[in-house]
Protein backbone atom coordinates (compact mmCIF):
# COMPACT_ATOMS: atom_id res chain seq x y z
CA UNK A 1 0.00 0.00 0.00
CA UNK A 2 2.86 2.38 0.67
CA UNK A 3 3.82 2.15 -3.01
CA UNK A 4 0.44 3.27 -4.36
CA UNK A 5 0.20 6.71 -5.93
CA UNK A 6 -3.50 6.86 -6.73
CA UNK A 7 -6.12 9.50 -5.95
CA UNK A 8 -8.42 6.93 -4.28
CA UNK A 9 -7.66 3.74 -2.36
CA UNK A 10 -10.18 0.94 -1.84
CA UNK A 11 -9.11 -2.03 0.24
CA UNK A 12 -10.92 -5.32 -0.45
CA UNK A 13 -10.55 -8.02 2.19
CA UNK A 14 -12.14 -11.33 2.98
CA UNK A 15 -11.66 -11.05 6.75
CA UNK A 16 -12.95 -8.20 8.93
CA UNK A 17 -10.35 -5.61 9.95
CA UNK A 18 -12.43 -4.38 12.93
CA UNK A 19 -14.61 -5.99 15.57
CA UNK A 20 -17.55 -3.65 14.93
CA UNK A 21 -18.57 -5.42 11.70
CA UNK A 22 -18.57 -8.91 13.21
CA UNK A 23 -20.99 -8.02 16.02
CA UNK A 24 -24.02 -10.22 15.49
CA UNK A 25 -21.94 -13.35 15.08
CA UNK A 26 -21.37 -15.77 17.96
CA UNK A 27 -18.68 -14.13 20.13
CA UNK A 28 -16.71 -17.39 20.37
CA UNK A 29 -15.93 -17.25 16.63
CA UNK A 30 -14.82 -13.58 16.52
CA UNK A 31 -11.11 -14.58 16.34
CA UNK A 32 -11.83 -16.57 13.16
CA UNK A 33 -13.61 -13.70 11.42
CA UNK A 34 -10.83 -11.16 11.24
CA UNK A 35 -7.99 -9.29 12.87
CA UNK A 36 -7.28 -5.71 13.89
CA UNK A 37 -3.81 -6.17 12.40
CA UNK A 38 -5.46 -5.66 9.01
CA UNK A 39 -6.81 -2.27 10.11
CA UNK A 40 -3.44 -1.22 11.53
CA UNK A 41 -1.84 -1.50 8.08
CA UNK A 42 -4.66 0.38 6.36
CA UNK A 43 -4.66 3.10 9.03
CA UNK A 44 -0.89 3.51 8.65
CA UNK A 45 -0.98 3.83 4.85
CA UNK A 46 -4.44 5.33 4.34
CA UNK A 47 -7.50 4.36 2.35
CA UNK A 48 -10.84 5.85 1.39
CA UNK A 49 -12.87 2.71 1.95
CA UNK A 50 -12.53 -0.89 3.17
CA UNK A 51 -14.94 -3.66 2.18
CA UNK A 52 -14.94 -7.21 3.49
CA UNK A 53 -17.23 -10.21 3.76
CA UNK A 54 -16.83 -13.37 5.88
CA UNK A 55 -18.98 -12.10 8.81
CA UNK A 56 -22.24 -13.46 7.39
CA UNK A 57 -24.37 -12.33 10.33
CA UNK A 58 -22.32 -9.32 11.39
CA UNK A 59 -22.97 -5.61 11.19
CA UNK A 60 -23.03 -3.61 7.96
CA UNK A 61 -20.77 -0.66 8.82
CA UNK A 62 -18.00 0.54 11.10
CA UNK A 63 -14.79 2.57 11.12
CA UNK A 64 -11.15 1.91 11.89
CA UNK A 65 -9.48 3.78 14.73
CA UNK A 66 -8.28 6.33 12.13
CA UNK A 67 -11.87 6.81 10.90
CA UNK A 68 -11.67 4.87 7.63
CA UNK A 69 -15.13 3.50 6.72
CA UNK A 70 -15.44 -0.30 6.83
CA UNK A 71 -18.36 -2.06 5.15
CA UNK A 72 -19.35 -5.71 5.50
CA UNK A 73 -20.69 -6.91 2.14
CA UNK A 74 -21.35 -10.58 2.96
CA UNK A 75 -24.20 -11.73 0.70
CA UNK A 76 -26.11 -13.36 3.55
CA UNK A 77 -26.00 -10.09 5.48
CA UNK A 78 -27.11 -8.08 2.43
CA UNK A 79 -30.00 -10.45 1.80
CA UNK A 80 -31.15 -10.16 5.41
CA UNK A 81 -31.78 -6.43 4.95
CA UNK A 82 -35.09 -4.86 4.03
CA UNK A 83 -35.18 -4.57 1.08
CA UNK A 84 -32.94 -7.51 0.25
CA UNK A 85 -29.82 -6.71 -1.76
CA UNK A 86 -27.23 -8.63 -3.74
CA UNK A 87 -24.65 -5.84 -3.77
CA UNK A 88 -23.83 -2.39 -2.39
CA UNK A 89 -22.73 0.70 -4.28
CA UNK A 90 -20.35 3.24 -2.73
CA UNK A 91 -19.42 6.75 -3.78
CA UNK A 92 -15.76 7.49 -3.17
pLDDT tens-place string over residues 12-46: 999 999 999 999 999 999 999 999 999 999 999 99
What local confidence, expressed as pLDDT, does residue 56 receive? 95
Q: Total structural domains in the chain?
A: 1
Q: Which residues of 20-47 are buried (b: 16+ CB within 10 A; e: fewer)?
A: bbbbebeeeeeeebbeeebbeebbeeeb
Examine residue 14 and state whether it is found in any structural domain, yes or no. yes
Q: What is the pLDDT of residue 23?
A: 97
Is the residue at 72 inside a domain? Answer: yes
| Structural domain harbouring 33 | 10-79
Interval 47-56 mean pLDDT: 96
pTM, full prediction: 0.93
Residue 55 included in any domain: yes
Q: Taking 90 as the threshold, does the pLDDT of residue 1 lie above it?
A: no
Mean pLDDT within 46-57: 96
Amino acid sequence: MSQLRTPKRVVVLHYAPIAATVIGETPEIFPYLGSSRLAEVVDRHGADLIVHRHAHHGTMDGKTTAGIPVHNVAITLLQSQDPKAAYRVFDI
